Every structure is written in C-alpha cells, then in structure tokens.
Structure 1
Amino acid sequence: MADIIQLLPDHVANQIAAGEVVQRPASVVKELIENAVDAGATEIKLIAKDSGKTLIQVVDNGGGMSPTDARLSFERHATSKIRAAEDLFRLGTKGFRGEALASIAAIAHVEMNTRQQGEEVGTRIRMEGGKIVDQEVTVTPEGTSIAVKNLFFNIPARRNFLKSNQVELRHVIDEFQRVALAHPDIQFEMYHNGNDLFSLPASNYRQRVVNIFGSKTNEKLVPVEENTEVLKLSGFVYKPQHARKSRGEQFFFVNNRFIKSPYLHHAVLSAFEGLIKEQTHPGYFLYLDVDPTTVDINIHPTKTEIKFDDEHTLYAILRSAIKHSLGQFNIAPVLDFDKDAGLETPYDYKDKPIHVPTIEVDSDFNPFRDEEETKISGSEKKETAYRGGKTSWQGSSRQEKRADWESLYVGLGDKPDSPDNFSSVEIESDEVAGTEGKPTERLFDDRESGEPSFNTYQLHKKYIVTTIKSGMVIIDQHRAHQRVLYEQFLRQMTVKESISQQLLFPIVLHYSPSDTALLKELRETLEFIGFAIAKLQGEEIEITGIPASISESEVSMILEQLIADFKDEIPDSSFSQSDRLAKSLSKTLAVRTGEPLNVASQEVLVNNLFACKEPTRSPFNRPTYITITVEDLEKKFL
C-alpha cells in the first residue's frame, strides 16, 4: 500500500496557522499593536478603512528593524523574545509566538516600512499571499509602519463569514481599547475612514479610562488598591448605582495583558453582592501584577485566557480589596464604631462659654380649661334664659366659630340631584394603552356566544389563559407582547409617522465616543418611532421627545440595551437596520415574566396578539401560545 502521509506545503501551513491567529480584522489589529508596544514605541497610530477589511495600518516610533530582521520577521516561528523553552514561563512581552506576521502575510497584501534609530535609510517589503514581491531601500521615519490590505483576498470563504462593518469595527475598537488601557504611558490614535475616533495622550490609568469612555466616567470610579506578597492590585470599579443590565466596561489586566477570567469575575460579583440589583453587571478596570513564573499564558491561541498557580488566593484578595474600597469611600454600608465627626463641636461655638439650659414652667397652664369654659358657657345660657340676660363673650365666640364651619355643609343633603352630590358622579373607564379605540380582529372566532367579554386568567404571572369553543389557549405574555410591539414599531418605521410626546425638560445622557457614533447611525430610524433628538455630538445626546408608549425613566435603559444589542449584533446582521431596531426595542419594552396584569390588560394583549400578521411566533421565532382542545383534556382523565 502506498504511503499517504506527506508534509504540507509552506503556504498551506501558513493559511492553516492564519486560521488560528487571524479570525477577523480585530485579530490583525491586536497583533500589530502589541508588536508596536514590544518595540518600545511611545506613539502608536491605527488607521483602518471599511472596519479593517480594506486597510489596517499601524504606525509606531519604536526601535525599528534592520533589513535582515525585517525579512526574517515574516518567517514562521521567528521571534526576538524567546531564546529557550524556559522563557515561556517568565514572559514580559506580548507577541512571542513568531507566527503573527507570517499568518497575516499569508492571507493579505502586506507592506512594511521600517527604519532603525540612527540609520539614514530604511527598508520596504511588499508581500502577497505569503510571498515576498519586492524588497528595497526607502526613506521612512524612525520606527515601523505595517499596512495590511485586502484581508482574506485569497480565502473568499473566510471573508464571507465576516460580520457587517459595524460589528467588525466594534471588535477593532475593543482590541484597540484593551491595549490602550493596559499602557496609559503610550500615546494612541485611531482613525477610521478618515475620521478621528480616539486621540489618547500619555497619562495615568484614571485619565486613560476617562479619555476612552467619556468625561462622565470620572464620577463613577472608585479606586481599588492592595499590595501583598502574592499580588499587587490597582484599578477602579464602578459605583453600584452605575451597574448596567448589559456587560459593559469589564477589564482584567494581568502583567499589562488583557485577559478573560470567569473565576475572577465571580470574585468581583461577590464583592458587589447586596449592592446591585439582580441581572445587572458592575463595571471595573483592574490591574493585577503577579510573578510571571506563577502564570501560564500559553494555553490559548489568542492569549486572552491564562492559568494561575493559586487562583483561590487571588479570588480572596480581589474580593476583600473591592469590598474594602466600597466601604472606605462610603459606597457600601459598614459597621463603624469610631467617633462620628458630626458630633464634634462646630467652629463657631468652640471658644464660647457653656450655658446650662434653664427650664421654665407656665404655672397658669390648665389642659382642662376648654372643657370648663364649655360647661360654664352652657350654664350661663340657661341662666340668661331664665333671667332674660346676655351670655358671656366666650360662649358667643364659640357659636360664631361653629357657625362658620357649619356653613360649609349647608345644602349638601337637601338636593339629591345636585351635581355636587357625590353619589351621582360616574367614573369614566380608562382605555388600556394599545387599543387606540379600534376593535381588533381575533384569530379564534369560535368563542362561545354569551360569554363575558373578560374571560382571561393569568397563571403564575407568566401565562395568560383564555377560552375558545374547542378548548383553551395558553399565551406566553412576554413573547406575545414582543410580537405586538415588534409589528407596532416596524409599522411606525415603515410609515414614518409616529406619536411623540414632547418633554418639558430635555433628557441629557452621556456615552462614550464609540457609543455616540453608533447612535448617530440609528438617529434617523429612532426619530421615525417617536424619539426627538435635538443634539447628538461628542459624548452627549439631548432628547426632547420620546414615543408615547415609553416613560422618561425607561429612556436610558432602552438606549443602553439598544447599544449593547447592536454591538453584539443581536439580532443578526442579515436583517435590515429597521428590523433589528424593532426587535431590540420589543425585547426591552415587553412585559416581563413575573409582572402581574389586570383583567383588562390581559384582554387587550390577547386581542392585539391575534390582530398581528404573524401571531404564532415571537420576533425571535419562538412560539407565543399553545392550544389545548377539550379532547386533549378528556384524554388526561382516562
């Protein structure tokens, strides 16, 4: 039998390796920026076009490379950071695998310009599909500039799996922010399609967080710091009142490397236990410095998951440090037996002599005097009736006061048909929102005649049970309301006519620059459903009108959930922007499981559901109700 095992060609092996290293444009951004940091750069610039699909360029002022190093950097397993296997267990750099540039060059057009410090000229290398096309001497600034064009040009299947530009840009921004937060001493800039997205000067950790996520972030931060033999911890956590329903700003950095650790994340959540609502997530920026020999970084291709030697100790230190910080800054309630500063003597009374308070007693006070006067006035009336004299002044004054009060009730009982008679007042019944005064069609028209109009029942605050002639229908109130709201919002965005309630005082909200850019793309569609946006620039959005079905307290929650959904592309990008927006809003505003509904609200929800074009499925393609016939019930009793 012939041999069937053979060595793979280099270009095929590089493409396979590229599948692990380069998953999307954000992967290229991560590798190139980390190489720039390792090169000792103090200024790093990222330029992207079409979310990195067309161009990703990273320019730094680091050490640069010689012509030989520049050529070797594109070879597999070529690196300047490892000499022996033992170096893997004391890593202090980021890009150490030696496969990043080789993998990127195998699936894109790459051009590198680099010059070492002190040299007069530099080197230019152009590569296509892993092959060097040209290498020549060039005039270029000190440092390195790498431009990656037409990513996945030779692997169209991988390119087709990329998400929309909006989602890919979100991933690029995430990678940029992670490296920028880990190195506040380096100046970072980012440009996308010619627009300046970030300009971050060299600063400290707190200022870097504020520069990325907006000026309003500064008032949300609580510093955390702890130094032990095992761990040096620093950073910030958000105050409990700023916890969000979506996972927002949550960053762990170990030895200046961004990581994801569900175990350490649980430590943070346990520190916030009792301070935040259920199903909300706190924000944090935590920097952990540990001995490199106690950490194994090389367990995941993207190096975002690492392994600690003693996770339990780190868990305990992290949890207690955050609890201490929240208590120290009066964020969390604590038992404090120290002297209260509020009991100190004010400055104005510090040097004044002490006066003993005196007690004065009114010797003429008599609590029974009013009763005695009433008795006396009554007896005086009898005497005047016998003697024909006059009453005393006390009795006359009381009669005048009583007459004034009694005049308020004159005529109330004389005219039963008077409009002032409260027994004749009729209470106007309120229409439940959503009916709009129009009858709705019912899908099930076989309801028995003569039944009362309200024949619904809420089961476990989750399901609505209603009867039909052939049996009964059990409706999931959350999914049903999602369907109703989804078609309502979609209709408003299609017709471009919606009811908007103007606000007496505008609502001003603050978001990060990337979130504001996302809201700018959604602005026109938001205005179609009733939002009136007067200002949207920088980090601020000013709302002067909201849809009639939304309250002011829900605006912030709706926009936060909307931003989170579009960042994570929920629903999928295959739908139009209007469809995705309608689904996101319906998911946020729908009646929740566990919310009690009165009979009228149940009936309106049922009617509106069966008036929809597709009442059987929710916007997320889940069933909204089930039908149980009388025959099915009878079988249960056999």
Structure 2
Amino acid sequence: MSSIIQKLPDHVANQIAAGEVVQRPASVVKELLENAVDAKATDIKLIIKEAGKTLVQVIDNGMGMGEQDARLCFERHATSKIRQAEDLFDLHTKGFRGEALASIAAIAHVEMKTRQDQQELGTHLVIEGSKFVSQEVAVLPQGTSFAIKNLFFNIPARRNFLKSDVVEHRHIIDEFQRVALAHPQIHFTYYHNGEELFNLPPSNFRQRIVNLFGGKTNEKLVPVKEETEIVSIAGFVTKPEFAKKNRGEQFFFVNDRFIKNGYLHHAIMAAYEGLLKDGSQPGYFLFLQVPPHTIDINIHPTKTEIKFDDEHSLYAILRSAVKHSLGQFNVAPVLDFERDPNLDTPYQYKDAEATVPTIQIDGNFNPFADEKPAKSYAGSGYRKAEPAASWESLYVGLKQDTETIVGEELPEFPSAGFQFESEAVTTSLFEEHEAEPAASKTYQIHKKYIVNPIKSGMVIVDQQRAHQRVLYEQFLTNMTVQQAASQQLLFPLELYFSPNELSLVAELKDALVNTGFVFEAMHADRVVISGLPVNVAESEVSIVLEQLLGDLQDGVPESSFSQNDSIAKSMAKSLAVKTGTYLTEKEQENLVNGLFACKEPNVSPFQKPTFITLRVEDLDKKFAL
C-alpha cells in the first residue's frame, strides 16, 4: 500500500511559505531594506515601478556576499543571523528566519548582483520561480543589488488580489518610512516610476522626521526622554492641537525595530487625557531600548508584534514620561506650588501703616438752588461755574417755530392745524372665511432631535443624520453635473501635508474641484487653495480635508462614481451640524424641509434612519393603562 503522506517539493513549499512572507509588494520592500540595513550599508536606494508589481529594486553599499553565500542565501532556512535556538532571545538584527529570499524567489524573477569589499569580482545571479537560470562572475561595485521583477507571475490568483497602484504604493511608502525612521544615520533614496520621491541624507532623528513628513512637522514635536533600568525612552510626541483623525503618524520602535502594540498606545492616550478632542489621535515617534532577553520577537509572521516580560511597568513609565514632557514644555496645564517672589510685599512697606483716606464735604452745597456751583478739582480747591440758563429757556419759541415751518412748507393749509378725513370701514366684498391656521412649528429636544407635528401625529428628526443626507445629495449633484458654486478667498489658504497625503490630494483634485474647491497651486509640501464651496467656512477647510484623507487612507475607489460617493460622504460627515448644536426655529424648518426634498430622506448616507413617525394612536396606547 502506497504512503498517503508525502514530502512536498521545495518549490511548492517555497510558494506556500511565500503566502506567509510576501503578501504584497510592500512585504518585499520590507525584507530587502532590512537585509540592506543588516549588511551595515550607509547608502540604500529603493527603486519601484508600477507600485512594485513590475519592479522592486534595492541597492546598497553594504558588506556584500561571496560566490557561495550568494547561492546559499536563496535556500530555505539559510541565515547568517542565528546559530542556535537561544539566539532568538538575543537578537540584534532584523531578519533571522532565513525564508524571505527563498519565498520571494519562488514567486518572482530575481536578479542579484553582489561583491565583497576585499574581492575584485562579484557574482551575478538570476533565478526565476525557484529555478537557477544563471550564475556568473561580473565586475560590480561593492554591496548588493536585488531586483525583483514580475511579482506573482506564476500565481495569477494572488496577483489578482492586489489593490490598485495607488493603494499598493501607499503601503510601500509606509514600509519605507518605518525603516528610514529607525535608522536616521543611513542615507535613503526612493524612486517611483523614475521620479525621486524621497532623498533622506544622514541626520538626527528630529531632522529625519521633518524630511519624511514635511517642514511644518518641526513645530508640532515635543521631545520625550526617560532613562530607567527597565527601558530607555527617547523620541517625540506631537502637540495636542495638531492631533488628527487618523493614526498615520504613530511609530513605536523597540531596539530599532518597528512594532505595533495596542497596550503601549493606550499608555500614550492616557497621557493625553483631557487634552484631545473626541476621536482625535496624537502623533508619536518613540524609541524604546530594552534588554534583548526581556522580549520575544518571534510571535508574529511579520515580526511587527513583540511580547514583553513586564508590560505593566513599561505602561506606567511610558505614560509618565509622555505626560511629564507635555507639562514640561507647557503643552499641558501644570499645578505649580512654588512661591513667586515678585508677588511678595516690598521690604520698605513691611512695618508701614496704612493711610486712611479723607473725605471732603462742601457745606454750602444746596441741590435745590437755582444756580448750582460746578466743582473743578484742578489742584486742591474748586471754583464756581458760570450760572446756567433756566431749563424753561430751552423750549421758548418752539411752538412758533414749528408753526412757521409748517406754514412755509404747506402754505395752502392754515397754520392752526390739520384735519384728516377718517377712512370708513366698509364690509368686505367677499365672504368672510375663518383665518388659515398658522404653519406648524418645530421644536428642538436636547439639541439633538427636531419634532415636527403632522396630521397623524409627529415626526422626530435626528438633526445630524438629516443634515448629512442633505449635504451628501448636494455634493453628489455638484460633482455629477460639475457646476458647483465656489466662493473666492481674499487671501489664498496654504495647507501643509506629508508627501503621502499630497499624493492622495493630487488624486482627488478633480473631484474636489467639482465640489467647489479651487486649487491655485500644489507644491512639494503644501497646497494653495483660493476658492471654497459655498457651504464650507475657511476655518473648516483643514478639518474637511483631514477627515477626507483619513476616510480614504485605505484606498481611493477606482471608478469615478464610487470616488465621488466616498468624497461626498466624507464631506457631509465633516460639515453636518453636530449633536448638541442649538438651532433656531428657522434653521429647524429649513433642515426639515431640505430633508424631505431629498431623493432618499429615510436614511443617512451611512444607511441609518434619519427620522421616525410617532402616530397619535401610539400615544393613546401609552396612556391607555
């Protein structure tokens, strides 16, 4: 009887492993950049074409590899980072599994060029789908160059699951930023489709953050530094007023490795307690140095999650360090019980007696006298004013003057006065009808709901959801017909964004123009806006765009209708009147009328009910007990 269990061929095992290691082009970028860092490179170039689907190339000036190592590095479980299992708890490098290059070579065309410093010639090696095509000696510069072409060429199902180029490129930028932030001493350069996006010279950590996220980032940063036996913390957090809706600028690095940890993130949020608006997220760029034996890195396939031995102590230290920094730099309110010597009583007044104020009284003052003396306190005495004329003299001759003026203007009438014929009230020519009842009034309850009486009972409208529906249909109509009204600004508005956000704004520019935005210019780190939609205030522009970028950070829909729909929903959510806002009776009526003039008044853009109807019969049942 034949055996049921069989050992898989290497190329099949590599493809299965590739599903764990290589999820998208960004996974390849991460592995190759980390290998270049481990090779002690001081200059690393990343070259991308078509968001990594066509080409991912990393060139470094590191140690390079010999002929034997160049061939062996593509074997499964081949690594230079560890020798025994105990080494897993004393890691000082990035990659250590020994599966990355083997997995990548199984699903792509790989071309590697490498040369060591002391060698005159290097090795040029080509692999296609785990098959060695060629290996030859070549004249090469020192270091290593990996070119990964046609990713997932032999797994079309995996290739079809990739997102659009914009989404995949955004993931690549995220991985590039994580490695570049962790190693500010290395020179990084990033090219996409022949265009240089980042050129990051060696610098300190603060300058690296500014180079990656724009020049305006510098004024947002607050330094954090703490040294303890358990952990050493260094880095920056952002000021509360620059908090955003999304979590894009949040980076934890443990021993120079980027990680994600919800528990430590909660410690940061606890430090900002009372300083942030609801739903806002602070930015932070924090380095944590801990003893390698106190953490376990090998608990997640992507190595972005770490298990700490003493998380509770880390939580307390991190929370106190951030809170102390916010208070030290006058970002958070601090109680100060130290006495200010400037507020003390001067020494010369210590034993002096207080001077009793004196009161001066004019004994000759008579309020009933015709002539009242006016006091002038120039100097120490006073003087009498000239006697004022009697008040009756102000009205002498007024009647005669009035009659004269009337007589001059209307000479045909006698100056004695006028008599007007009173209009007789006659009966109406038409039948008298009972007056029409006044329009039903609306009422606001708890600054959240609007009650509008109707014949069968009453309608209760959720003001926020109703306004979202009204704005959503307005924006969608403007973008469809492309005839949106715009209000010009007296002074153009400059808004600063990171390169990643700017690329997203550039992609959405046409749709935003159709809503009423007017873009005067787009620079490397900012956009200049000279016109706004009529229902967007100047103070709300940054909030609207920030909310829009946060909602679409996972990807912009490819079809124009889906893109317009997403933009209209995001802008309606940002601009709609919020719960807790007082509305006048006129505003309530306009909102209710606008809602029932919509095509779909029953639900908000997010498919939640906008109003309910309460009939009189329902009320009668409540009282029929």
Q: TM-score range by the shorter chain?
A: 0.7 to 0.9
Question: Are 1:614 and 2:597 matched, yes or no?
Answer: no
Residue 64 of structure 2 aligns to which amino acid in structure 1?
G
| Alpha-carbon distance in 2 for matches of 1:78, 1:299 | 20
Shift of 1:269: 1.2
The answer to whether residue 26 in structure 2 is matched with residue 35 in structure 1 is no
Q: Which runs of structure 2 are paired with 1:541-556 in the superposition (5 Å)?
A: 541-556=527-542
- After superposition, the Cα gap between the structure-2 partners of 1:403 and 1:191, relative to the gap in structure 1 and judged at 3 Å, is farther
Quick check: 2:557–2:563 contact (8 Å CA) kept in 1?
Answer: no
Tell me which residue corresponds to 1:299: 299
- Aligned match of 2:514 in 517, 528, 551? 528
**C-alpha distance in structure 2 between counterparts of 1:205 and 1:342, whole Å:** 40
Is 1:258–1:304's contact at 8 Å kept on the other side of the alignment?
yes
CA contact (8 A) 2:111 2:127 kept: yes
CA RMSD, 1 decimal: 3.4
Counterpart residue identity of residue 92, structure 2 = G
Contact 1:115 1:143 in 2 (8 A): yes
What is the distance in 2 between the residues matched to 1:371 and 1:74? 115
Give per-residue Cα distances to partners, 1:570-607, cap 9 Å, x unaligned: 77979543232222212221222333433333332232
Q: 2:387 aligns with which of 396, 405, 411?
A: 396
Match of 2:51? 51
Inter-partner Cα distance in structure 2 for 1:109 and 1:403? 107
294 and 600 in structure 1: CA distance in 2 versus 1, 3 angstrom threshold: same
> In 2, are the aligned partners of 1:572 and 1:580 still within 8 Å (CA)?
no
User: Is there any run of 5+ residues in structure 2 with no aligned partner, and where?
Assistant: 374-382, 403-434
Counterparts of 1:362 and 1:141 in 2: how far apart (Å)? Answer: 94
The residue identity in structure 1 corresponding to 2:571 is L
Measure, in 2, the Cα distance between the counterparts of 1:93 and 1:573.
43
1:550 Cα shift? Answer: 0.9
Distance 1:498 1:231 in 2: 56
Question: Which segment drifts farther, 587-596 or 12-21?
Answer: 587-596
Q: Deviations over 1:65-91 (max 9, x none)?
A: 122211221111111101000011111
Does residue 577 (structure 1) correspond to residue 570 (structure 2)? The answer is no
457, 468, 479: which one pairs with 1:493?
Answer: 479
Contact 2:255/2:289, CA 8 A, preserved across alignment: yes
2:299 & 2:161 partners in 1: Cα distance? 26
Whether 1:193 aligns to 2:157 is no
Report the AA paired with residue 296 of structure 1. Answer: D
Distance 1:379 1:611, change over 3 A: closer
What is the TM-score normalised by the length of structure 1? Answer: 0.82
What SS is found at the alignment partner of 1:372?
Answer: coil
Q: CA deviation at 1:324?
A: 1.6
Residue 365 (structure 2) aligns with: 372
Q: Give the fraction of aligned pairs with identical amino acids, expressed as a percent.
A: 63
CA separation of 1:595/1:371 partners in 2, compared to 1, >3 Å: closer, same or farther? farther
* Aligned partners of 1:507 and 1:542 also within 8 Å: yes
Contact 1:77 1:99 in 2 (8 A): yes
The match for 2:575 is: 589
1:493 is displaced (CA, Å) by 1.8
Name 2:489's counterpart in structure 1: 503
Deviation at 1:293, TM superposition (A): 0.2
Q: Is the 8 A contact 1:164 1:573 kept in 2?
A: no
| 1:480 paired residue number | 466
The equivalent residue for 1:211 is: 211
The change in CA–CA distance for 1:62 and 1:602 in structure 2 (over 3 A counts) is: same
1:591 is aligned with what amino acid?
A: V
CA distance in 1, matches of 2:488, 2:362: 60
Query: Contact conserved, 1:454 with 1:603, CA < 8 A, in 2?
Result: no
Please give the alpha-carbon distance, in whole angstroms, between the structure 2 residues aligned to 1:217 and 1:76: 43
Indicate how the Cα distance of structure 1 residues 461 and 469 shifts in structure 2: closer, same or farther if over 3 A, else same: same
Moved more, 603-612 or 84-93: 603-612
Q: Which residue identity is paired with 2:331?
A: I
CA distance in 2, matches of 1:399, 1:497: 72
Say which is worse superposed, 194-203 or 509-518, in terms of deviation. 509-518
Question: Take 1:259 and 1:137, find their aligned partners in 2: how far apart are those partners?
Answer: 40
Q: 1:361 to 1:550 in 2, by over 3 A?
A: same
Q: Tell me what 1:138 maps to.
A: 138
Separation in structure 1 between the aligned mates of residue 83 and residue 225 of structure 2, nearest angstrom: 35
CA contact (8 A) 2:556 2:563 kept: no
Q: What is the aligned partner in structure 2 of residue 604 from structure 1?
A: 590
Note the C-alpha offset of 1:527: 2.1
Residue of structure 1 equivalent to 2:114 = 114
Alpha-carbon distance change, 613 to 396 in structure 1, aligned in 2, over 3 angstroms: same
- Residue 552 of structure 2 aligns to a residue whose secondary structure is helix
Q: C-alpha separation between the residues in 1 aligned to 2:115 and 2:25? A: 26
Structure 2 Cα separation of the partners of residues 295 and 117 of structure 1: 35
- The structure with the larger Rg is 2
CA spacing shift, 1:362–1:191, aligned 2, 3 Å? same
Using the alignment, how far apart are the partners of 1:135 and 1:575 within structure 2?
A: 51
Shift of 1:628: 5.3
SS in 2 for 1:567: coil
Query: Offset of 1:154 from its aligned partner?
Result: 2.1
Q: What is the CA-CA distance between 1:175 and the residue it aligns to? A: 0.7
**Aligned pairs for 1:227-626 within 5 A:** 227-338=227-338, 340=340, 372=365, 374-378=367-371, 394=385, 396-397=387-388, 453-469=439-455, 472-569=458-555, 576-626=562-612
- Paired with 1:285 and 1:498, the residues of 2 have a C-alpha distance of 41
Instruction: Name the SS of the counterpart of 2:467 in structure 1.
Output: helix
Tell whether 2:176 aligns with 1:176.
yes
TM-superposed CA distance for 1:629, in Å, is: 5.5
Aligned residues: 576
Contact 2:167 2:556 in 1 (8 A): no
Report if aligned partners of 1:571, 1:584 keep a CA contact under 8 Å in 2: no
1:340–1:330 Cα change, 3 Å:
farther
Equivalent-residue separation in structure 1 for 2:341 and 2:49 (angstroms)? 58
Q: Amino acid of the residue matched to residue 331 of structure 1? A: V
What is the deviation of 1:198? 0.7
| 1:277 match: secondary structure | coil
Compared with structure 1, are the counterparts of its residues 36 and 573 closer, same or farther at alpha carbon in structure 2 (3 Å cutoff)? farther
After superposition, the Cα gap between the structure-2 partners of 1:370 and 1:179, relative to the gap in structure 1 and judged at 3 Å, is farther
Name the structure 2 match of 1:148: 148
TM-superposed CA distance for 1:2, in Å, is 7.0
Tell me how far 1:48 sits from its aligned partner: 1.0
Corresponding position of 2:105:
105
Distance in structure 2 (CA, Å) of the matches to 1:569 and 1:553? 27
CA contact (8 A) 1:123 1:138 kept: yes
C-alpha contact (below 8 Å) 2:21/2:301 kept by paired residues: yes
Residues 193, 342 of structure 1: alpha-carbon distance in 2 compared, 3 angstrom cutoff: farther
Indicate if the aligned counterparts of 2:44 and 2:61 stay in contact, CA closer than 8 A. yes
Closer/same/farther in 2, CA of residues 471 and 339 from structure 1, 3 Å limit: closer
The 1:594–1:13 alpha-carbon spacing in structure 2 relative to 1, beyond 3 Å, is farther
Instruction: Give the 3-state SS of the residue equivalent to 1:394 in structure 2.
Output: coil
Rounded to whole Å, the distance in 2 between the matches of 1:52 and 1:217 is 29
The change in CA–CA distance for 1:53 and 1:376 in structure 2 (over 3 A counts) is same
When residues 378 and 539 of structure 1 are mapped into structure 2, their CA distance, relative to the original with a 3 A threshold, is: same
8 Å CA contact 1:377–1:395 kept in 2: the answer is no
Q: 1:119 to 1:599 in 2, by over 3 A?
A: same
Match of residue 93 from structure 2? 93
Instruction: Indicate if the aligned counterparts of 1:46 and 1:56 stay in contact, CA closer than 8 A.
Output: yes
Shift of the 482–154 alpha-carbon distance from structure 1 to 2, 3 Å rule, reads farther
Q: 1:632 to 1:236 in 2, by over 3 A?
A: same
Residue 234 of structure 1 aligns to a residue whose secondary structure is strand
Return closer, same or farther for 1:143/1:491 CA change in 2, 3 Å cut-off.
same
Distance 1:531 1:320, change over 3 A: same
Compute the TM-score of the two structures, normalised by the length of structure 2. Answer: 0.84
